[in-house]
Chains A and B, each alone.
Chain A
Amino acid sequence: MINNIHEIAALTGIIVYGISFIISIYENKSRRSFTLSTIFAGISILFMVSILIYLWITYKRPPMRSIGETRLWYAFFMPSIGLLTFRLWKYRWFLSYSLLMGIVFLFINLIKPELFVKHLPPALQSPWFVPHVIVYILGYSLLGASAIISVYQIISRKTRDYKTILLSADSMVYSGFILITFGLLFGALWAKVAWGNYWSWDPKETWALITWLVYSIYIHYRLKQKKTLDHRVSMLFLIFAFLIVLLAWMGMKFIPAAQNSIHTYG
């Protein structure tokens, strides 16, 4: 039963984002320019901004107190930065993807209204929280995409033209790597303010650094590429690198060193 502002906002948001998403899919499939998608994405983003401003004024505090409220910010930032990335890096699929991610977060809020009641501990009540998480989600998405096209190329062997596919993968690695660099440094700057030191070799931090270093190896390895064999090695490396991402992101439970991470909040 819809009986409060959060649920109304989530539902309206899903509709607005949904329309933009469908338009973007249509414009992508019919190879049109993305003018209409961009306009609708812009409207959706403005809608989220107005929700956030409304909540800010109504509650007389920034809407950053519960997990549900942070999801609203995710639903704002994902498509915004996604739209920017899409315009700058020209990934045809990225606008639809970012809008879809916005819908996902709003949908989670709709089906789990108690997220608005799951309060954030003091350390997480910071303007760094959302930017840090968002750039990581988007960055890892792009790195994941580079792994996906590598898997696809290796399995299908559709064209012998590894070089072109690899150039697309490179582009996604560059943009993804830039975003995770932001993520790593935002995390460091936040850690200094919240905990006292910008780096403490905490397992989550260490594995984020390992991920960053692994993609750094890829980028520098690609500088000296010539032969087709190298291209296949590069693609396998991208798949391996994404496994490291998964380990860093979700595998903390399996690593003995990570049991005492300060990144766990219970």
Chain B
Amino acid sequence: MKRKIWIFPWKYPEGFLIGIAILICGLILDYFFLPAALLIPSFPGNLILLSIIVLIASLLFTSKGINSFLSSGYAAVPSIVLFTLLVLIIGIIPQNYDPDNNFNLLRNMTSSWTFYLSGLFMFFVVFTSSLNKFKNLNIRNLSFILTHIGISIVLLAGGLGQSEYKDLQMNLFMNKPVWYAAENSQNTEELDFALELNEFILEYHNPVLKVSYPGKDISRMYELDKAKKNIHFRNFEIVLDQLIPEAIRSEKNYREYKHPGYVTAAALNVKDNSSGKDTNIWITSGSRMQQPEIYVSDKIRIKLLPRSPKHFITKARLYTKSGVNKEVQIQVNKPLSVQGWKLYQQSYNQKMGKYSNTSVLRLVKNPWLPVMYVGFFMILSGVAVLFFIGKPY
């Protein structure tokens, strides 16, 4: 007997029809209104919205037919398929991050109603299915609850917390306090604190020599370190006589020059074991001011690779309106927390290298981050439990 549509229990036809309906609603909203990301209110509006959403979810939970549908694969698959198709658009079409001007659904997908409604559909499915598992708390259901409530939290925090997310860029200048940061090319925001760049430290990895055999495309790389042994390459023996990390050419040699425009210079003795002859050469890395020096013969080519940064640190003085005055440090992988902001080392004047007199920081404020982390950790614990349970059958 063929089941009539919209009579419970709902299965894939109803599931996919609901998915399509949500897609159409999203498209209509995107056509007539501003994108969701701009309309979702910040505190306390987003909390009110959160409560309304959870209330609706609870109401859906009380309806037996809808509840059993939302907790089943018949709702899960369409909701994930819809979301996946939208993420696929994000993955294929280059996105631009300026929804204020020229909103284009395909290029501003992450701020669109279509995307938000699809996320909401997934939330209702994921949340309702978690609630049902509370009836029977065995270990497998526990892991289900952890992962699915975790996902619910991530979806809600991601959608509703976005309005309070702030991302600014702050340019620091040597010995000049800066108390503002830029949102984009037009807007700047005044901060309750100031930073004065005192020192910018950039340390490079040891210099690397590249030795190659012309014609046969054979090359090897060696780290130059005074403590290390001589380099043996084919019939050649290369001895490092002198290494000047920051140097300038001085007649036929190089001398120390700790200023912008320096090159890294290595004095090498290159001995050809097949002929017994040896020659003394300088190999340098090159800079804006000086050409690199390389060694080319018919049997060997030697050059110094551009220096690669090991780490760079911003040393600054922090001033706050509340009277704080102290030295701080910011580097990659070690952000600084100031008054609810997290400050990240983003870049510096790369042309000046270690003599950069500016440092660029990224400032991020994300009050919903702890909520997001709770979601992440619930998902991680849930899958960890599942991993240790082993085979699903």
Name the distance in Å between A198's Cβ and chain B's nearest Cβ.
7
Contact B222 A171 (CB under 8 A): no
Interface 9-mer from B68-76, B266-274, B277-285? B68-76
B87 contacts across to A, CB distance below 8 A: 206, 209-210, 213
Name the distance in Å between A3's Cβ and chain B's nearest Cβ.
8
Residue B91 contacts which of A1, A206, A216 (CB distance < 8 angstroms)?
A206
CA distance A256 to B346 in the complex (A): 25
Residue A125 contacts which of B88, B333, B391 (CB distance < 8 angstroms)?
B333
Residue A198 contacts which of B92, B222, B372, B388 (CB distance < 8 angstroms)?
B372
B98 contacts across to A, CB distance below 8 A: none
| Residue of A65, A179, A192 with most chain B CB atoms under a 10 A cut-off | A192
Name the distance in Å between B235's Cβ and chain A's nearest Cβ.
13
Contact A216 B383 (CB under 8 A): no
Contact A174 B392 (CB under 8 A): yes
Provided the pairs A210-B91, A257-B91 are in contact, do residues A121 and B80 lie with their beta carbons within 8 angstroms? no
Provided the pairs A65-B205, A122-B332, A255-B91 are in contact, do residues A224 and B72 lie with their beta carbons within 8 angstroms? yes
Name the distance in Å between B309's Cβ and chain A's nearest Cβ.
6
Interface 9-mer from A50-58, A150-158, A180-188? A180-188
Give A205's nearest chain B residue, CB to CB. Answer: B91
What 0/1 readout, one digit per residue, does chain B (75-118) give for beta carbons within 8 Å of chain A?
Answer: 01100110110011011111100000000000000100000000
B332 contacts across to A, CB distance below 8 A: 122-123, 125, 194
| Residue of B94, B221, B223, B387 with most chain A CB atoms under a 10 A cut-off | B387
A133 at the interface (CB under 8 A from B): no
CA distance A214 to B85 in the complex (A): 10
Q: Which of B212-234 contact A (CB under 8 A)?
A: 220-223, 229, 232
Interface 9-mer from A26-34, A35-43, A112-120? A112-120
CA distance A35 to B343 in the complex (A): 51
Contact B167 A223 (CB under 8 A): no
Provided the pairs A201-B95, A255-B92 are in contact, do residues A193 and B380 lie with their beta carbons within 8 angstroms? no
What 0/1 readout, one digit per residue, does chain B (301-340) give for beta carbons within 8 Å of chain A?
Answer: 0000000111110000000000000000001110100000
Contact A171 B391 (CB under 8 A): yes
Name the distance in Å between A128's Cβ and chain B's nearest Cβ.
9
Q: Which of A214-234 contact B (CB under 8 A)?
A: 214, 216-217, 220-224
Contact A126 B333 (CB under 8 A): yes
Residue B310 contacts which of A89, A119, A175 (CB distance < 8 angstroms)?
A119
A178 contacts across to B, CB distance below 8 A: 383-384, 386-387
Contact A196 B335 (CB under 8 A): yes
Contact B232 A1 (CB under 8 A): yes
B393 at the interface (CB under 8 A from A): yes
CA distance A242 to B311 in the complex (A): 38
CA distance A260 to B94 in the complex (A): 9
Residue B80 contacts which of A170, A195, A217 (CB distance < 8 angstroms)?
A217
B180 at the interface (CB under 8 A from A): no
A207 at the interface (CB under 8 A from B): yes
CA distance A235 to B383 in the complex (A): 24
Residue A214 contacts which of B76, B84, B110, B379 (CB distance < 8 angstroms)?
B84
A90 at the interface (CB under 8 A from B): yes
Provided the pairs A65-B205, A122-B312, A257-B93 are in contact, do residues A89 and B390 lie with their beta carbons within 8 angstroms? yes
Interface size on B, residues (CB 8 A): 57
Question: In the complex, which range does the number of interface residues on chain A fall in?
Answer: 35 or more
CA distance A39 to B308 in the complex (A): 42
B376 at the interface (CB under 8 A from A): yes
Contact A185 B80 (CB under 8 A): no
Contact B80 A216 (CB under 8 A): yes
What 0/1 readout, one digit per residue, does chain B (163-206) give for beta carbons within 8 Å of chain A?
Answer: 00001000000000000000000000000000000000000011
A19 at the interface (CB under 8 A from B): no
Contact A170 B393 (CB under 8 A): yes
Provided the pairs A90-B391, A213-B83 are in contact, do residues A196 and B74 lie with their beta carbons within 8 angstroms? no
Give A127's nearest chain B residue, CB to CB. Answer: B333
B249 at the interface (CB under 8 A from A): no
Contact B81 A217 (CB under 8 A): yes
B222 contacts across to A, CB distance below 8 A: 114, 117
Name the distance in Å between B253's Cβ and chain A's nearest Cβ.
26
CA distance A122 to B346 in the complex (A): 11
A224 contacts across to B, CB distance below 8 A: 72-74
B344 contacts across to A, CB distance below 8 A: 194-196
A1 contacts across to B, CB distance below 8 A: 232
Name the distance in Å between A45's Cβ and chain B's nearest Cβ.
19
Contact A196 B342 (CB under 8 A): yes
Name the distance in Å between B36's Cβ and chain A's nearest Cβ.
15
Contact A182 B308 (CB under 8 A): no
Contact B81 A122 (CB under 8 A): no
A250 contacts across to B, CB distance below 8 A: none
A46 at the interface (CB under 8 A from B): no
B364 at the interface (CB under 8 A from A): yes
A194 contacts across to B, CB distance below 8 A: 332-333, 344
Extra A-B contacts (13), CB below 8 Å, given A88-B388, A171-B392, A194-B332: A113-B220, A119-B206, A123-B332, A171-B391, A174-B386, A178-B384, A185-B376, A196-B342, A197-B366, A213-B87, A220-B80, A221-B77, A223-B76
11 residue pairs bridging A and B, Cβ less than 8 Å apart: A90-B390, A125-B333, A174-B386, A178-B387, A181-B380, A194-B332, A196-B335, A196-B346, A206-B91, A213-B83, A257-B92
4 nearest A-B residue pairs (beta carbon): A114-B221, A223-B73, A119-B205, A220-B76
A interface, CB within 8 angstroms of B: 1, 3, 65, 88-90, 113-114, 116-119, 121-123, 125-126, 167, 170-171, 174-175, 178-179, 181-182, 185, 188-189, 192-198, 201, 203, 206-207, 209-210, 213-214, 216-217, 220-224, 255-257, 260
